[in-house]
Amino acid sequence: MQCRHCNNTAVIVNDFGSMPVANAFRNESDEDSFRYNLTTSFCDSCKLFQINDNPEVTQMFHNSYPFFTSTSKVMVNHFSEFFQEFKPDSSTDSFIVEIGSNDGSLLAQAKNDGFHHLGVDPSGNVVERAKNRGINAICEFFTEKLAKDIKTEHGMAKRIFAANVICHIPDLHDLARGIKELLATDGLFVFEEPYLGSMLEKVSYDQIYDEHIYIFSGISVQSVFAEYGLQLIDLQEQSTHGGSMRYVIAHEGFYTPSGEMLNILDREKEQGLNKIETYLEFANKCEKRKSELSELLSGLAKNGKRIAGYGATSKSTTILNYCNIGNDIIEYFCDTTPEKQGKLTPGSHIPVISRADAQERLPDYFILFAWNHAEEIMRFESESMPSNVAWISIIPKIEIVPR
């Protein structure tokens, strides 16, 4: 297998089989959607953990992209703190860019603080939502060419932010050239993504789906950007998305790397993030999780128990299709996103309904697929969910949660 980034040999890790696009929620009457083979590999040269095939980016990001950052209050607060921590000292002459600005949850802060800013996002519907809030945003993929155009029109950026986006970009060479071009001499490129170390620790293989072309570590990010004279200067662990890492990048030699970053890089080596054996062990654990979940659910279904899903996440598409779980086992999903309600889950064809509709037909068990929002959901559900409904946890382990 050839590494999609450096063209050296990459070793195949997982084979999750045939998959639909993770966010391709469909109407009952729609044709069955496009499928591709979801496999992963690890490259011993550049240390990138990656998926081997992906649908065209335009199949994943388009005018009816069903994800809006503002559906989670916790995430909105998180982005507000993210911006406040990294915003430049003065708003005069400080241009801020966000790659993958979605509905403008982060840039709303830049706007309120009077910064000249620009959001870049390829999904028209989310860009419209941001513009309606008075945020400057354009509907484009971030490329080196676009970076040059932005620089010509707005000048260089003191900050380039991105959250849960950089792992979506197949061509990291083009991205790094774009950052090099647009970032001011003393500027910072700060991005955060689901973290490979957490994924391996929790066996959260549901982080692997079409949009996550790479799952990054400090080691791999350092290697990718170093090639373009950009230096990793800090790493900050985040609890969001079930375990994320914030990467801080600057022009080489401008800032001194933090001690915490060096500690995390050492820890990654201890954890074996630089070795193929670690990944092969992970693949075995994924297979084990698959059998455990299938056994638990088919046992409950055989006993006439009604099971529903909570949170129709992109992540759940990998679990449902890999573990062959369909509408014979899961009766429905409840989800707060209006764009997903009334539709069927990709590949598994399970209806998605609102939380209010679910109240009228509560199951015996709710599987918490939106496990990354567990705290927020449990805070709400501790008051709303009757005690005869039990929760099933799937990450970090499969269990019926004792009440």
How many angstroms separate the CA atoms of 279 and 74, rounded?
31
To ligand TYD, the closest distance from the beta carbon of 381 in angstroms equals 8
Residue 262: strand, helix, or coil: helix
How many angstroms separate the CA atoms of 104 and 109, rounded?
9
Strands 244-251 and 35-43: unpaired
Between 136 and 337, CB nearer to ligand TYD: 337
Between 92 and 382, CB nearer to ligand TYD: 382
Helix axes 374-384, 73-86, angle to 10 degrees: 150
To ligand TYD, the closest distance from the beta carbon of 68 in angstroms equals 9
Between 191 and 225, CB nearer to ligand TYD: 191
To ligand TYD, the closest distance from the beta carbon of 40 in angstroms equals 17
To ligand TYD, the closest distance from the beta carbon of 375 in angstroms equals 9
- Cβ atoms < 10 Å from Cβ of 101: 29
Q: Are 160 and 181 in contact (CB under 8 A)?
A: no
To ligand TYD, the closest distance from the beta carbon of 384 in angstroms equals 11
Interacting residues with ligand TYD (CB under 6 A): 67, 71-72, 311-315, 335-337, 340, 370, 372-373, 376-377
Contacts 24+ apart (CB under 8 A), 323-331: 323/290, 323/293, 323/294, 324/294, 325/293, 325/294, 325/297, 326/350, 327/351, 328/301, 329/297, 329/298, 329/301, 330/297, 330/367, 331/306, 331/307, 331/361, 331/363
Between 237 and 376, CB nearer to ligand TYD: 376
Q: Are 198 and 242 in contact (CB under 8 A)?
A: yes
How many angstroms separate the CA atoms of 67 and 129, rounded?
12
To ligand TYD, the closest distance from the beta carbon of 376 in angstroms equals 5
Between 95 and 371, CB nearer to ligand TYD: 371
Between 15 and 381, CB nearer to ligand TYD: 381
Between 241 and 290, CB nearer to ligand TYD: 241
To ligand TYD, the closest distance from the beta carbon of 91 in angstroms equals 30
Q: Are 365 and 352 in contact (CB under 8 A)?
A: no
Between 273 and 312, CB nearer to ligand TYD: 312
Classify 26 in phi/psi space as left (phi over 0), alpha (psi -120 to 50) or beta. Answer: beta
To ligand TYD, the closest distance from the beta carbon of 190 in angstroms equals 20
- Cβ atoms < 10 Å from Cβ of 70: 16
Between 25 and 141, CB nearer to ligand TYD: 25
To ligand TYD, the closest distance from the beta carbon of 5 in angstroms equals 23
Centroid of chain to Cα 340: 18
Which ranges in 142-234 belong to alpha helices (H)?
Answer: 144-154, 172-182, 196-202, 218-226
- Cβ atoms < 10 Å from Cβ of 128: 13
